[in-house]
Amino acid sequence: MSLMGFKHGRALASAAAAVVTALIIGQICTTADAAPVPTPNPKASAAASAGPSAKPTTVADASAQVKALEDEASQIGEQYDAAHDALDAGKERLAVLRADIALQQKKVDELSAQAQAIALAQFRSRDVDTTVEIFTSGDPETMMAKLSTVSKVNEDMDAVLADQQAEQANLTDMQRSAEAEVSALADQEQKMADLKKQAESKLSDAQALLNTLTAEEQAQLNQSDGGSTTSDPGDYADASARIQAAIKYALSKVPSSQYVWGASGPSGFDCSGLMLASYRAAGISLPHSSQAQSHLGRAVSKADLKPGDLIFWYHPVHHVGMYIGGGKFVHARNTRADLVVQTLTSYPAPWAGARRILN
């Protein structure tokens, strides 16, 4: 290499060191912004309820309207439970993202520190002229070794800086994903609030109609849903220990607990909430949505039902109960009857299938 080549290379190295130093100062110690707190969506939709469709003229009309409103509330409740499941899943994803962001931030910080250290070493040696070193060095071989080392440092700097920039880009993408997840959670929470308002309106209208009926008429209305019966431990005595645990939990809530829209215990339940809590007692996690539950396990026919099977009604599905043997099942029926045991043949709702969660 010529002396002019050495001088030219040294000048380029000095300029590169200055540029790299400026880049590193702007990039080191980048910290991940804290994920924003979900805020309500200001564009909340209006409640869908418009009250009873018409003023009832007979007891039969009033009863029919009560049931219709309860069914509408149940369908809204199914949407609410599905939204609740989606919210929980979103929160889990956000928690994982935040943990990953923390690890990624640490990786970026370490690479930035390495780049900063290399840039600082280059900065400190920037005033030593290569030509002067060659003429004043008493050991040319040592000088060549130093030049080789400088070249290696420059290569290392390029590699570290490339890695740091790539990891910083990954970190930025992860932060954007977290921000999108937080926004989605806020939308989901607003959706749940809207659905809750709609369901409460339907149930309020149903209660107003129910209040127009006498106690005897209300009893007749409840009886039209199939009434209730008692359970017999012998009906599920041959079931596995886990299935018995699920059944016993559900039966322990009859009739002391109430039907509470969107609840899963310990003293209030909706239909899918009772199934969720009962199977949770057996060590099995279920989603809080009867539609979601209707896709679990394997399908079984009504003729092949076994204790512990989940049974579903309506199209689309928006009610679920648990078969307990002996032709009976337990479910959170509605706000009028709360939790009951009754026979399959007595329940007038349209059958939608059954699923076996445990063999």
Q: Compute the distance between CA of residue 68 and CA of residue 51 in angstroms, rounded to an integer.
A: 11
Q: Compute the distance between CA of residue 73 and CA of residue 200 in angstroms, rounded to an integer.
A: 8
Q: Compute the distance between CA of residue 234 and CA of residue 231 in angstroms, rounded to an integer.
A: 9
DSSP 8-state assignment for residue 99: H
Q: Which of 86, 96, 107 is CA-nearest to residue 292?
A: 86
Q: Compute the distance between CA of residue 257 and CA of residue 261 in angstroms, rounded to an integer.
A: 12
Active-site annotation holder among 84, 271, 288, 318: 271
Question: Please, which residues have CB within 8 angstroms of residue 340's CB and are 6 or more apart in sequence?
Answer: 228, 254, 255, 330, 331, 333
Q: Which of 153, 163, 61 is CA-nearest to residue 110?
A: 163
Tell me, rounded to whole angstroms, the distance of Cα 223 from its chain centroid. Answer: 39
Q: Which of 292, 287, 239, 348 is CA-nearest to residue 88?
A: 287
Provide DSSP, 132-173: HHHHH-S-HHHHHHHHHHHHHHHHHHHHHHHHHHHHHHHHHH
Three-state SS string over 290-356 comes to HHHHCCCCEEECHHHCCCCCEEEECCCCCEEEEEEECCEEEEEEECCCEEEEEEHHHCCCCEEEEEE
Residue 319 annotated in active site: yes
CA distances from 254 to 234, 257, 261 (A): 18, 6, 17
Active-site annotation holder among 84, 288, 318, 319: 319
Q: Compute the distance between CA of residue 44 and CA of residue 223 in angstroms, rounded to an integer.
A: 39
Contact 87, 189 (CB under 8 A): yes
Provide DSSP, 199-222: HHHHHHHHHHHHTTS-HHHHHHHH
Active-site annotation holder among 84, 288, 318, 331: 331
Catalytic machinery residues: 271, 319, 331
